[in-house]
Structure 1
Amino acid sequence: MEANMQIFSTEIISPSSKTPDHLKKLQLSYLDQQAPPVYVPLIFFYQADELRGSISTNHVEISRQLKQSMSKALTSFYPLAGRIDHDNFVVDCNDNGATFIEARVCGKLMDVVQEPDIEKLKEYLPVDPTGGNIGDGTLVLVQVTYFDCGGIVLGMCFSHMLADFTSIMGFVNAWAATTRGESEFNQFTFDLASHFPPRDFLGSDFWQFFTSNKKLVTKRLVFDKEKCASLKRVASSPSGSTVKDPTRVEVVSALIWKNFIEVAKLNNLDAKKNFVAFNSVNLRPRTSPPHIMDNIFGNCFTTAIAFSGTTDVAKTDQSTRVEEFHDLISKLRMTFKSINDEYIKEAKNGGNYVKNLSSLVALILKGEVGWCSLTSWTRFPVYEVDYGWGTPIWFCTTAFALRNSAILVDNKCGDGIEAWVNMNQECIEMLETQIKLI
């Protein structure tokens, strides 16, 4: 930690009202069971001249209001103040609380925003998210850092074993609304397990493999409006391309996937393995009738799998040829479209989905299939999170524990993408070269 960063307070925040006895045990779903045992890091930056409105710029008063409103918000999101009983697949909603840390730092907030350093960004988080575990079991940790220039940074870590990004943002927005003095916010339900009951899922070594501590590099790769437009033109231009109106997420995801495959094949010229892209797909907006699961809390997402070659995971005798950019986009699009209401109804049973994923993971563990993971946080209102000081000037994540992974986030203007890529140095360097050529 930097010498000028000083932590001066650590406190446990419990819900303002005790959780009723009949809500003390929350059954986890099998979708929660498949989530990685890591923390999801979020960092919001608020500039000094935006600290206005109903909240005083006095740090003591700001912290008091943040703690008070967090306590109230945890009453509505009571599982976040509990602890997970891994043996029984339940959350013990015991009101043990969330961690709230206060820190101060000398310097200017804009220096951090304009020249972000991945390792130093972790200093604004309450726990190192690259640790690959959830420590003492606390499900939510927050750190508020006060700059002597008046700027404020809110760093948060949420256990992925309980919440996906939709759920996390539900809590963050409820907390912000409560801090502003509002009582109305989206109310979530906690019955995901009634739709996706728990199951025996994968082996104990599954996440140890995917959260390997091998030396990786995390980079923030910026695709502005012009670069996204250029990638869309490249995707649509080749003869025989069936890609029509590709999205920002599709073109950036395909570029990362393509580069990952190229590097893997260069390192092993005899490799004829298949390469898959895992894509996290939010199930809530894909149900029929619509909106029946909009505000359900938990890991309400599925892992959609796109194959670079055949969709038969047992066949690993693929050509060393790397597929064209537009071909990979088509495969991603088909995968996304396959996650429909019929898919969800079958997934509620879980049988085929768990069986197929387990078979694929077995091949990955044997080294017969290459993989990378792509997650999009775009179109979430991260730049609208207002605690009464105005909206953030920057939102980001940082280094994280899952290897061969990328998280895509909107830029401030909403017309570009910041890709937080966690891969080996060679793949990062190739991506950086490709971006310069766009």
Structure 2
Amino acid sequence: MKIISQQTIKPSSPTPPHLKTHVLSLLDNYMPHAPVPFIFFYNNYNSGDINILKKSLSRCLTQYYPFAGRILSPFAGHVDCNDEGVEFLDVSHDSRLDDYIRKEANHESLRELHPNVSITNMVAVQLNHFTGGGAVVAVSISHKLVDGFTMATFINQWAKVTRGESPFKPYFLTPPTR
């Protein structure tokens, strides 16, 4: 595995001032800051698509503004929606995707396909290129911020925007601040 590039993808538009603080629900406050990884395998991938992926991710982060923010401390109780962005790793592997899946795919080897979410970051993405054109897109989002439905909705949104479709605006229910 070789890291080709590492960059931060920021939202395409700034978060409005009235949405800069996303208060976590009582349940979310008790959730661990553990990454929830989703891994997507693609046999046919055009390496030129990376810029489309980055631009569409940037557009989605405008709608999912807490994902581009930071939890400033483990006990903060809120996300600082400061538009700092998400980590995007571009990685190459020496094997073919089919060979990797057939020979190497096990619990431990799959870990190298997905990025680590730091203690303050909410989201990280890793694009894995394989010899012969296959690719794996892996997304890790903090469980403190998302449940399974929210994760699936975000991934679906990102896919829609990548295909050139219009995203819908999600609604984040935020408890009032005290």
Q: TM-score, normalised by structure 1?
A: 0.39
CA distance in 2, matches of 1:158, 1:192: 19
SS of structure 2 residue aligned to 1:169: helix
- Residue 2 of structure 2 aligns with an amino acid whose one-letter code is Q
Equivalent pair of 1:126/1:155 in contact (CA under 8 Å) = yes
Give the fraction of aligned pairs with identical amino acids, expressed as a percent. Answer: 40
CA distance in 2, matches of 1:73, 1:87: 27
Deviation, structure 1 residue 193: 2.9
The gaps in structure 1 that reach 5 residues or longer are 52-56, 128-133, 199-438
CA distance in 2, matches of 1:184, 1:39: 25
**Would you say 1:191 and 2:173 are equivalent positions?**
yes
Residue of structure 1 equivalent to 2:141: 158
Alignment of 1:71-82 (within 5 A): 71-82=58-69
Deviations 1:263-314 (A, max 9, x none): xxxxxxxxxxxxxxxxxxxxxxxxxxxxxxxxxxxxxxxxxxxxxxxxxxxx
Number of residue pairs matched?
176
Alignment of 1:190-209 (within 5 A): 190-193=172-175
Alignment of 1:370-389 (within 5 A): none
**Would you say 1:10 and 2:6 are equivalent positions?**
yes
SS of structure 2 residue aligned to 1:103: strand
Deviation, structure 1 residue 84: 1.4
Deviation, structure 1 residue 136: 4.2
Equivalent pair of 1:19/1:94 in contact (CA under 8 Å) = yes
- Structure with the higher helix share, 1 or 2: 1
What is the aligned counterpart of 1:65 among 52, 60, 67?
Answer: 52
Residue of structure 1 equivalent to 2:120: 137
CA distance in 1, matches of 2:145, 2:115: 18
Deviation, structure 1 residue 135: 2.7
- Residue 176 of structure 1 aligns with an amino acid whose one-letter code is A
CA distance in 2, matches of 1:37, 1:145: 24
SS of structure 2 residue aligned to 1:143: strand
What is the aligned counterpart of 2:77 among 85, 89, 92?
Answer: 89
Alignment of 1:34-433 (within 5 A): 34-48=30-44, 51=45, 57=46, 59=47, 61-85=48-72, 86-115=74-103, 116-127=105-116, 135-185=118-168, 187-193=169-175
SS of structure 1 residue aligned to 2:157: helix
The gaps in structure 2 that reach 5 residues or longer are none
Q: 1:121 to 1:88 in 2, by over 3 A?
A: closer
- Residue 79 of structure 1 aligns with an amino acid whose one-letter code is P
RMSD: 1.8
SS of structure 2 residue aligned to 1:84: coil
Deviation, structure 1 residue 97: 0.4
Higher RCO, 1 vs 2 (CA within 8 Å, ≥6 residues apart)? 2
Q: TM-score, normalised by structure 2?
A: 0.91
CA distance in 2, matches of 1:109, 1:81: 30
Q: Please list every run of at least 4 consecutive aligned residues from structure 1 whose deviation after the TM superposition is greater than 3 angstroms.
A: 85-88
